[in-house]
Amino acid sequence: MQGFLGGVAGLAAWLGARPAAQRMGLAAVFGGATVLAMPPFGLWPLLFITYPGLVWLLDGIAPDASPAPQAPDVSSRFAGWPATAATAWAFGFGFFISGLYWIGSAFLVEADAFAWMIPFVAMILPGGLALFFALAAVAARAVARRGPARVIAYVLAFALAEWLRGHVLTGFPWNAAGYALSVSDWLVQATALWGLYGHTVITLLIALAPALLAGPGIAPGRRHVAAVLCLALGMPVLLYGFGAWRLSGPEPVDVADVRLRIVQPNIAQKDKWRPELRAANFSRLLRLSRAEDDAAGITHVIWPESAPPFLLADNADARALIAHMLPPRAHLITGAVRAEPLPRARPDGRWARFFNSVMVLDSDARILDVYDKAHLVPFGEYLPAQGLLEAIGLQQLTRQRGGYASGPGPRPMSVPGAPSVGPLVCYEVIFPGSVVSDQRPQWLLNTTNDAWFGNSIGPRQHFYQARMRAVEEGLPVIRAANTGISAVIGPKGQVRAILELGQAGVLDQPLPAQIDKTIYSRNGDTIFLIMIAVCVLTILYFKVSKSKV
Q: Name the residues annotated as catalytic.
A: 305, 373, 426
Cβ-proximal residues to 174 (8 Å cutoff; 6+ apart), any chain: 99, 100, 430, 461, 465
Nearest CA to 57 among 5, 96, 13? Answer: 13
Confirm if 63 and 72 have CB atoms less than 8 A apart: no
| Residue 237 neighbours by CB under 8 Å, 6+ apart | none
Minimal CA–CA distance to 461: which of 10, 28, 41?
Answer: 41
Helices 147-165 and 191-208: crossing angle in degrees, nearest 10, is 130
d(CA 79, CA 125): 28
Neighbouring C-alpha atoms within 13 Å toward the C-beta of 269: 20
- Whether 382 and 404 have beta carbons less than 8 Å apart is answered as yes
Shortest CA distance to 301 belongs to which of 371, 368, 369, 363?
363
CA distance 3 to 444: 53
Rounded Cα distance between 241 and 246, Å, is 9
Element (H, E) at 295: none
Q: For CA atoms 365, 366, 368, 369, give the dihedral sign.
A: positive
